[in-house]
Amino acid sequence: MLIRHGMNQLTLLNNVRNSGTLASSSSAVLRRQHLLIRCLSAHSYNSGGNNRWQETKPSMEADADNILRAITPVLDPTKHKGQAGKVAVIGGCREYTGAPYFAAISALKIVSLILLDIALTGADLSHVFCTKDAAPVIKSYSPELIVHPILEESYSVRDEDKGNVSRKVVAEVDKWMERFDCIVVGPGLGRDPFLLDCVSEIMKQARQSNVPIVVDGDGLFLVTNSLDLVSGYPLAVLTPNVNEYKRLVQKVLNREVNDQDAPQELLSLAKQFGGVTILRKGKSDLISDGQTVKSVTIYGSPRRCGGQGDILSGSVAVFLSWARRLNLGAEGNLGISTTNPTVLGCIAGSALLRKAASLAFENKKRSTLTTDIIEHLGKSLEDICPA
């Protein structure tokens, strides 16, 4: 990119600094120059050039493409619906219906890539457990999702009925639990106290059934206030953004975030959680299970549209499920330094999202939306794992 523009980044910066006298007459040009500098800096950062983490710990960078190839099942004409994995999303309320849809449909898009008969990939693969108000809206987004309108919020339940309603909600989810390869908790969940209490019980059920749990969005708010829901559970994955990570560090480590030694801090945080895997989202995604730290620095998109975290949580759920089915420890020729399925799932999900975001931005530029990224998940995985 630097060669194409005919100047290096330092030359460009000096030119901008020396253009102060022309700023009043060329403000638009100056703004574009500043934008170009930021883009070049971001590209360099994500390529490892100015990334302090990569300079000090080069082995942290995950071989994402190799991992994706290792854990993605091959196309198989004998497979039927459900064999590629079944994922449930616990989330969706009156205010938030897009997030659970993004997570569920992303999981469905990835799963459908390994089945030859696309018509078979809908019914038994991606479920959404949401409130009654959210269900009709989510159903209208896609007929391919199974939507369960069973969750309740405080406003719709009398105080004297809450105990009975909570038991019914939990029992209904429990009927399905053994069918799921992974559940995603949090997208569009909201923070209604009664709803969160019900979801806490659902998470306890999943843990008792040894079902992996990916926690995102308002699920992280719940976990931050009830650490025991995931502490010590090796099949739990947390996917915090900047603010959610800050709250976790303050609660668990009792200090402020230290970006100067981010890998070690993340390692300590995962250890304090008893081996829970944490994917810290950022310019570079950092992943740790308390034993190792891996990074994914593939360049994605400068367009930060809302909903990408939901794509990530759904993607991680699918790849985690696939990684659990493989005996990777016996595959010495794969060149994979860790065989923890939660870590592998995070690496694969992070890499695929970034690749899809990059392709979407190439096509749509500033108008890129989350739905555009979802549509590029298939092409991104096909480029790495061709049929």
Please enumerate, by residue number, every residue annotated as part of a binding site for (6S)-NADPHX. 188, 241-247, 310
- φ, ψ dihedrals at 296, nearest 5°: -125, 115
Q: For residue 110, what are its two tokens?
A: 């990835």
Please check whether residue 151 is in contact with residue 197, taking contact to mean a CB–CB distance below 8 angstroms: no
* CA–CA dist 42, 40 (Å, integer): 5
Residue ranges for the known binding site are: 188, 241-247, 281-285, 300-310
Question: For the chain, how far is it from start to end, CA to CA, in angstroms?
Answer: 31
d(CA 345, CA 184): 13
DSSP readout, 58-89?
GGGB--HHHHHHHHSPPP-TT--TTTT--EEE
With a CB cutoff of 8 Å and minimum separation 6, the contacts of 333 are none
Secondary structure letter of residue 366 according to DSSP: G
Q: What is the DSSP letter of 339?
A: -
Spell out where the chain has E strands. 87-90, 126-131, 146-151, 182-185, 213-215, 236-238, 277-280, 285-288, 293-296
Binding residue positions for ATP: 281-285, 300-309
Which residues is 236 bridged to in the sheet? 213
| CA dist 48 → 43, 64, 82, 330 (Å) | 9, 15, 39, 31
Q: Rounded distance, CA 145 to CA 109, Å?
A: 11
Provide CB contacts within 8 A for 231, sequence distance 6+.
273, 274, 276
Strands 285-288 and 277-280: antiparallel
d(CA 69, CA 376): 18
Closest listed residue to residue 52, CA positions, set 241, 242, 292, 259 = 259
